[in-house]
Amino acid sequence: MATSGSKCRACKAPAVIDLPRHNANFCAEHLLQLCRRQVEKAIDDYEMFSKDDRLLVAVSGGKDSLAVWDMLVEAGYQADGFYVGLGIGDYSDESGDYVRRFADERGLTLVTVDLRDDYGYDIPTAAKVTKRVPCSACGMSKRHLFDKAARDGGYDAVVTGHNLDDEAAVLLGNVLRWDIEYLARQLPVLPARNGFPKKCKPLVRLTERETAAWCLIRGIDYLVEECPIAAGNRHLYYKDTLNSLEQKSPSSKSAFYLNFIDNMAPLLADQSAAAAGELNDCERCGSPTTNELCAFCRLVEKSSAHEPVPVELVLGKRGRS
Amino acid sequence: MQVKLRNPKREIEMRGGKTVNRLLDDLELVRESHLVICNGTLVPGDAKLGDDDVIEIRPVISGG
Ligand code: SF4
Ligand SMILES: [Zn+2]
Ligand SMILES: [Zn+2]
């Protein structure tokens, strides 16, 4: 049996986790309390939503999206789930099972779309047809369907499970290129505009290690395996790099991201407003677009006409949009 | 003790008596990227692992 000397900072019971960035150890109950407080702080500080709002949470079957759905429901928010079957081999079959089980066990409402059944294509096929990296077709499809589901269902805001590590890794990528337009839009909340719903990221103050611990302690069964297309991508490399830094210098990762939001993002505010131009409705689906047909409808048109492509054929083509 | 690892999924046998932090160091794994579960329970870095323990080292970094 494992024995440990470390005690919870709050109650002095035996600790289950060490959090070097807080220079403290926590028992299971107080780790949960820390997570709840960080999420409430993010919701309040960035004015995300209230208990009167109807929320739609994008869920993938992974730890972050299930954790945020669980936290919101536990805290008394009205949150439904939204899942897209991407047709990425066994990964998609399994991820769908985890999401449905989570929703069923808790009696929660889950809105689902299946790319193959509902639109006649899947991500490997779309990647082949567009000759782009799979993550680019995937990200675009998910964003489009998520926005559409939010509009169709009359939701007040959409929620994603992006955590501190996700945001810090994207920030590192944007800073390495000094991509001012992306930097200006990298906020925990994007207001509704031009027919796009308000987008909120309540987990930006929690690391992945903390959201994973939330799931373990709460008994949430999530898909630990990754999407096979993610393996080896640049986003993961940035995360590893930041975690090596964090190992040597605890709390540098959160300072990097949270101080960007507090100190730098306000200076960039007018840069992102400039990017918002006039949009019209897509002729086919009514989504906001600068063209006659939106990018999603163009993708569906091309991909659904193509023979299904197995996921193995696109696994060499890595990278993230 | 039995140690379960992922990416790729595998199991290795190691001698007990070391702490969680020492185990991670020996395997050249970064603490911030992993949780360590001993006999089904989350354990902190200074927990001492015994010969009979079943350990899971779970990566927490996702790439989507
Ligand atoms: S890794 Fe890429 S292809 Fe896989 S789910 Fe994420 S965005 Fe989609
Ligand atoms: Zn405690
Ligand atoms: Zn359209």
Would A19 be classed as within a structural domain? no
Q: Say how many domains are in chain A.
A: 1
3-state secondary structure of A97: helix
- Which ligand does the CA of A27 lie closest to? 2
To test ligand 1's pocket by mutation, which of A60, A88, A135, A143 has the most ligand atoms within 8 angstroms of CB? A135
Judge: A246–B34 Cβ closer than 8 Å, yes or no.
no
Q: What is the CATH number of the domain that holds A144?
A: 3.40.50.620
Report yes or no on A16 lying in a domain: no
pLDDT at A320 over 50: no
Give a yes or no: residue A275 inside a domain: yes
Rg for chain B, CA atoms, rounded: 11
Separation between Cα atoms, residue A189 and residue A143, nearest integer Å: 15
| A42 within some domain | no
Residue range A222-232: mean pLDDT, rounded: 89
β-strand pairing of A110-114 with A78-85? parallel
Residue B2: which H helix or E strand, with range? strand B2-5
For residue A33, pLDDT beyond 80: yes
Task: Retrieve residue A63's tokens.
Answer: 């730890």
Amino acid A136: pLDDT: 93
Over residues A33-53, the mean pLDDT reads 98
Report pLDDT digits (tens) over A263-295: 999 999 887 655 556 788 999 999 999 999 999
Q: Say how many CA atoms lie within 13 Å of A310 toward its Cβ.
A: 3
From the CA of A43, how far away is ligand 3's center (Å)?
A: 32
Find the mean pLDDT for residues A148-175. Answer: 97
Residue A321 has pLDDT above 50, yes or no: no
* ipTM of this predicted structure: 0.96
Q: Is residue A62 part of a domain?
A: yes
3-state secondary structure labels for all residues of B3-63? EEECCCCEEEECCCCCEHHHHHHHCCCCHHHEEEEECCEECCCCCECCCCCEEEEEECCCC
State whether residue A285 is helix, strand or coil: coil
- All structural domains of chain B: 2-59 (3.10.20.30)
Beta strands (DSSP E) in chain A are: 17-19, 24-26, 54-58, 78-85, 110-114, 157-159, 189-190, 198-200, 280-281, 288-289
How many Å apart are CA A143 and CA A141, to the nearest integer?
A: 6
> Omega before B44 cis (within 30°)?
no
Residues of A in contact with B44 (CB under 8 A): 4, 6, 15-18, 25
pLDDT tops 80 at residue A77: yes
Identify the pLDDT of residue A319: 43
In a domain, residue A183? The reply is yes
What value does the mean pLDDT take over residues A21-29? 97
Residue A246 counted as domain residue:
yes
Checking if the pLDDT of A242 tops 70, the result is yes
- How far apart (Å, rounded) are the C-alpha atoms in residues A254 and A41? 15
Nearest-CA neighbor of A299 among A313, A320, A282?
A282
Cα A163 from chain centre: 7
Judge residue A69's burial from the number of C-beta atoms within 10 Å of its C-beta, 0-12 exposed, 13-18 middle, 19 or more buried. buried
**Residue A60's pLDDT band (boundaries 50, 70, 90)?**
very high
A71: in domain:
yes
* pLDDT cut 70: percent of chain A above it: 96
Say if residues A127 and A168 touch (Cβ distance below 8 Å): no
Chain-chain contact of A2 with B53 (C-beta, under 8 angstroms): yes
How much distance in Å is there from the Cα of A301 to the middle of ligand 3? 10
A137 CA to middle of ligand 1, Å?
A: 9
* Inter-chain CB pairs, A–B, below 8 Å: 105
Pairing of strands B2-5, A288-289: unpaired
Per-residue pLDDT tens over the stretch A187-199: 999 999 888 999 9
Query: Residue range A237-259: average pLDDT?
Result: 96
A262 assigned to a ligand binding site: no
pLDDT-derived band at A3 (thresholds 50, 70, 90) equals confident
How many CB atoms lie under 10 A from the CB of residue A277?
A: 7
Question: Could you tell me the residue range of the domain that residue A125 belongs to?
Answer: 47-219+234-313
Q: Whose CA is nearest to atom 6 of ligand 1?
A: B64
The reply to whether residue A17 touches residue B44, judged by beta carbons under 8 angstroms, is yes
pLDDT category of residue A159 using cuts at 50, 70 and 90 = very high
Among the bound ligands, the one closest to the CA of A145: 3
- Asked if A216 contacts B37 with a C-beta cutoff of 8 angstroms, the reply is yes
Query: Which candidate from B6, B32, B53 shows the least CB-CB separation from A243?
Result: B32
* Of residues A36, A21, A110, the one with CA closest to residue A68: A36
Distance of CA A22 to the CA centre of its chain: 24
